[in-house]
Amino acid sequence: MLNENNPILKVKNISKVYAEDKNNIVNALNDVNFKIIKGEAFGLVGESGCGKSTLAQIIMNLILADKGEIIYIKDGKEINILSLKGKKMKALRKEIQFIFQDPYSSINPRKKIGWLIKEPLIIHKIGADDAQREKMVDEMLSSVGLDKNYKNRFPSELSGGQRQRVAIAIALILKPKFVICDEAVSALDVSVQAQILNLLRDMQKKMGLTYLFISHNLNVVSYISDRIAVMYLGEIVEMGNSETIFKNPLHPYTKALFSASVNINDEINPVILKGEPPSKAALTKGCVFASRCRYCSEKCLTEKPVLKEMDDNRKIACHLYNEY
Ligand code: ADP
């Protein structure tokens, strides 16, 4: 049972602007707040370009935020990840791991699978000797559904699904507590996607993992997540239990995402998003979704809706639900 009072990560007031020059300013994230509960899979969903990867990289302390804190809770103690450097950050990386969309770009194609899975153990000085490390690699390969003979293969000799199993093995060999999956199944065929999602679920149960599961695909996110946050142009517009949102999406953007992914053939009442998201630079006031929203009113153009808690434990940022 998930305990709301037992978070593992708090994302607090995170904002990030990319400013290449005066004419090219992107508000990638605007005051993003949420908590991830220990043991849950928390899904972050939104169209490409809405700021998901920027947030993931900030959580990993790979890029700087302009504002805000990322608090990781370890043994009851709060650690502000963004203030960590050098050895302290390296030590925390054992606990927080990443699984990317395209493992081919994140793993060395010239190294064999056995070496790739063993490398984190060597870096973090885990295992008494090489024989023990080899044993750990064999066990991990078996956990992710690969025969130990795969140790002698190169990444190019594997299928996309098998490569993603190797990426999972590399991420999990250090026995992390918290894993960020950034579009981890997006490059795979639908049938292989399901196998990898099931593997991630099995590993979550077996190792007691917490996931931040990021994807543009609402079906994928809701398949694996206990709770979901829906992001549009760097802001969270709706957040709540996966089942609640799946059964009854409320924010016009969430409805449109569902319409696109679930009811693609529904000709009765499809809510289709038209056009591209507006330039982020232009958005200084009002609702981020106003320019594409079929319910847009005068107020939406001038006043930014805040995330409000509803009766069913979800939060929503939309003037349609202001009276609640
Ligand atoms: P997502 O992961 O949801 O596709 P990103 O976090 O990659 O979104 O990007 C969010 C926004 O920030 C996009 O408009 C993107 O073009 C912009 N962006 C991302 N990285 C950079 C960068 N290094 N420099 C300038 N703009 C960037």
The residue whose CB lies within 8 Å of the most ligand 1 atoms, and thus the one to mutate among 23, 24, 47, 54, is 54
Lowest mean pLDDT among 55-64, 124-133, 265-274: 265-274
| pLDDT the model gives residue 287 | 93
- Closest Cα to atom 26 of ligand 1: 18
Please provide residue 190's backbone torsions phi and psi, each rounded to the nearest 5 degrees: -55, -45
Determine the Cα–Cα distance for residues 305 and 295; give it in Å rounded to an integer: 14
Determine the Cα–Cα distance for residues 309 and 324; give it in Å rounded to an integer: 8
Render pLDDT for 6-54 as a digit per residue (tens, 0 to 9): 999 999 999 999 987 777 888 899 999 999 999 999 999 999 999 999 9
Nearest to 182 by CA among 145, 231, 216, 143: 216
Q: Is 162 in the pocket of ligand 1 (CB under 6 A)?
A: no
Residue position matching structure tokens 């025969």: 147
| pLDDT the model gives residue 276 | 60
Please provide residue 37's backbone torsions phi and psi, each rounded to the nearest 5 degrees: -85, 140
Q: Distances in Å between the alpha carbon of 253 and those of 143, 230, 310?
A: 39, 8, 17
Nearest to 95 by CA among 108, 105, 107, 84: 84
Query: Is 149 in a helix, a strand, or coil?
Result: helix
Look at 104 and 10; give whichever has higher pLDDT.
Answer: 10
- Closest Cα to atom 27 of ligand 1: 18
Strands 41-45 and 210-215: what pairing? Answer: parallel
Render pLDDT for 250-287 as a digit per residue (tens, 0 to 9): 999 999 888 766 443 433 344 456 556 655 555 568 99
Average of per-residue pLDDT across 148-177: 94
Examine the pLDDT at 3 and tell me if it is beyond 90: no
Q: Is 254 in the pocket of ligand 1 (CB under 6 A)?
A: no
Q: Distances in Å between the alpha carbon of 36 and those of 1, 42, 90, 265?
A: 14, 6, 22, 34
User: What separation in Å is there between the alpha carbon of 182 and the centre of ligand 1?
Assistant: 14
Q: Is 26 in the pocket of ligand 1 (CB under 6 A)?
A: yes
List the structure tokens of 268.
């009765």
- Closest Cα to atom 20 of ligand 1: 54
Examine the pLDDT at 320 and tell me if it is beyond 80: yes
The order of strands in the sheet holding 67-74 is 24-37, 7-21, 67-74, 77-80
| pLDDT the model gives residue 264 | 34
Render pLDDT for 221-239 as a digit per residue (tens, 0 to 9): 989 999 999 999 999 999 9
Q: Is 101 in the pocket of ligand 1 (CB under 6 A)?
A: no
Q: Is 255 in the pocket of ligand 1 (CB under 6 A)?
A: no
Q: Is 145 in the pocket of ligand 1 (CB under 6 A)?
A: no
Q: Distances in Å between the alpha carbon of 181 and those of 96, 205, 297, 298?
A: 11, 16, 37, 39
Determine the Cα–Cα distance for residues 58 and 161; give it in Å rounded to an integer: 27
Examine the pLDDT at 85 and tell me if it is beyond 60: yes
Q: Is 16 in the pocket of ligand 1 (CB under 6 A)?
A: no
Q: Is 278 in the pocket of ligand 1 (CB under 6 A)?
A: no
Render pLDDT for 114-123 as a digit per residue (tens, 0 to 9): 999 999 999 9
pLDDT-derived band at 64 (thresholds 50, 70, 90) equals very high
Examine the pLDDT at 100 and tell me if it is beyond 90: no
| pLDDT the model gives residue 270 | 42
